[in-house]
Structure 1
Amino acid sequence: MTGLPPLSSTRSERVRQVTALGRRAARDRQGRFLVEGPQAVRELLGYAAGAAEVLYVTPAALDRHADLVEQAVRLGVAVRECTADVLGVMAGTEHPQGLLAVARRVDVPLERALAAVGEQGFVVVLAHVRDPGNAGTVLRAADAFGAAAVVVSAASVDVYNPKVVRSTAGSLFHLPVSVGTPVQEVLQACRARGIRLLAADGSGQTRLPDVDLTGPHAWVMGNEAWGLPPDVLAGCDAAVSVPIRRAESLNLAMAATVCLHASSVATGAV
């Protein structure tokens, strides 16, 4: 702790700077983002502590989560107490959980993400995925089922959007995540590494139970509304559909979870 009095003014310059990180332009300009809530903060400190800069904590959370505050202090993260009103303004959530960290970006270059695939791994490519909840859930599923990395293409949602960060439940800090590369460049880089490209497509001619999931491969997941563009489908080695009984379709997060689980079983990732 700094020994300074708690931040109490929602109009202070510091509060305005932190609050601005709720907007993508400010995140891009500062190279920082917000991590809200004890679960996400715990994973940040446990897996990417070097990225953590400041931890803001309310008096109630200071007592309730003393272990996290002590861990932050041990790791050299600045800790600043603030009122619940101030933290609510900075977090931009209706019911903030008393802990809010400011952290530097944790994404890695595309080549580093693909290098993690190795000879038996698999990677997830999100192509023009726009919904924060879907993106965060796919990233969480990728973490759960042992994906080597997640690649989020250019024109997709910002992985540092607070809604994405919250929905990953800390998985953002567990595996390499690459952002901002155009889809066709991602596909080309996968081919150069011998990574087979499997397009998840509801109309795909190859059924999931019939696809070979041994060896390095990438699941290419498209936009929630219109799926994958024709040029992306054409650039993949197979278009794979998940057999379903009666429902009209699966949403992106559900389909990704099913495909990733199949890969984890085939590759022995979990």
Structure 2
Amino acid sequence: MEKITSVSNNLVKETLKLQQKKYREISGKFLLEGFKPVFEAFHCGVEIEYVFVREDKVSEYEFLKDKIILTNEIVLKKISTTDSAPDCVGVAKQKIFGISQIQNAQKVLLLQNIKDAGNLGTILRTAAAFGVDAVVLFGDCVDLYNPKVVRSAVGCLWKLPIVQMSNVEELQKTFPNHTKIATLPRSKNLLKTFSVEKPFVIMFGSEAEGLSEELIKLSTTDLKIEMKDNVESLNLSISCGIVLYKLLN
């Protein structure tokens, strides 16, 4: 079993680069930090190249077999993005889905211009939990393989297909017969009385800007979460959770 304990090692340096988006895009690889993401990625068929594992924790990672590289806390601290060093940091190949893989999805979640990595990861975890069939990242969203997204998704990043889209024409072509639901604060349709038949696309915009006018125009209906008058809005991941639970249960 290979052992690397120096932060000057070339593989350590290459791993460190994956903290940056441009190197993730060039290489098609990303970081896995901690047991849960590594375990879930492995069992979801993600191609793991190697995993740096703290030597005294190696017995917990026997399922990785020859993918293990023994190391110490100094190296793990160097290559991880967390405040404290995790027990392991791995490198895996990004799992890319195509449009053809989501065309038959009945329950689709669309997220437009989501910039907060923690929010995105949490929403993906929620979507997987409530049975969403596919997720569309529309427009300028945070990098799907940002380390914080991967951590926040807690292993759910690979449990449903996620694709990128950039224009309304492509969206309409992919889901021509889906009911498209815009989430709008000004909607007169309250979530508590709202119902919809499959197939549908439920669309959320960013907390700062909401949905764009082009997506609102594309929508066939809309809804809002009823709240007390003295509360302006909810966190996006909370809103998604409430709406998905209501529509999918």
Q: Could you tell me how far 1:235 is from its partner in structure 2? A: 0.9
Say yes or no: does 1:21 pair with 2:23.
no
| Whole-angstrom CA distance in 2 between matches of 1:21 and 1:35 | 10
Q: Higher mean Cα deviation, 164-173 or 146-155?
A: 146-155
Residue 186 of structure 1, CA deviation: 4.7
Q: Over aligned residue pairs, what C-alpha RMSD do you find?
A: 1.6
Runs of 4+ that moved beyond 3 A: none
Match of 1:8 in 2: 5
Q: Give the aligned partner of residue 167 of structure 1.
A: 152
Q: Match for 1:94: what amino acid?
A: D
Structure 2 match to 1:262: 246
Q: 1:204 aligns with which of 182, 187, 192?
A: 187
1:111 Cα shift? 2.6
Shift of 1:238: 1.4
Q: TM-score, length-normalised on structure 1?
A: 0.87
Question: How high is the sequence identity, in percent, across the aligned residues?
Answer: 27
Is 1:102 paired with 2:98? no
1:215 correspondence with 2:198: yes
User: Which of 98, 107, 122 pairs up with 1:122?
Assistant: 107
Letter in 2 for 1:106: K
Conserved in 1, the CA contact under 8 Å of 2:99 and 2:174? Answer: no
Deviations 1:23-52 (A, max 9, x none): 110000000001111111111111124x21
- Give the superposition deviation at 1:190: 4.2
Kindly indicate whether the alpha-carbon contact (under 8 Å) linking 2:195 and 2:247 is maintained by their aligned counterparts in 1. Answer: no
Out of 40, 47, 59, the position equivalent to 1:43 is: 40
CA–CA distance in structure 1, aligned partners of residues 32 and 167 of structure 2: 28
| 1:34 and 2:18 are equivalent in the alignment | no
Are the counterparts in 2 of residues 110 and 151 from structure 1 also a CA contact under 8 Å? no
Residue 205 of structure 1 aligns to a residue in which SS? coil
CA distance in 1, matches of 2:35, 2:227: 37
**Equivalent residue for 2:213, pick from 225, 230, 241:** 230
1:112 to 92, 96, 101: 101
Contact residue 130 and residue 224 of structure 1 kept, 8 A? no
Q: Secondary structure of the equivalent of 1:33?
A: strand
Letter in 1 for 2:54: T
Which of residues 54, 60, 63 in structure 2 aligns to 1:58? 54
Task: Assess if the C-alpha contact under 8 Å between 1:190 and 1:196 holds in 2.
Answer: no
Equivalents in 1 of 2:239, 2:148: separation in Å? Answer: 20
Aligned partner of residue 122 in structure 2, secondary structure: helix
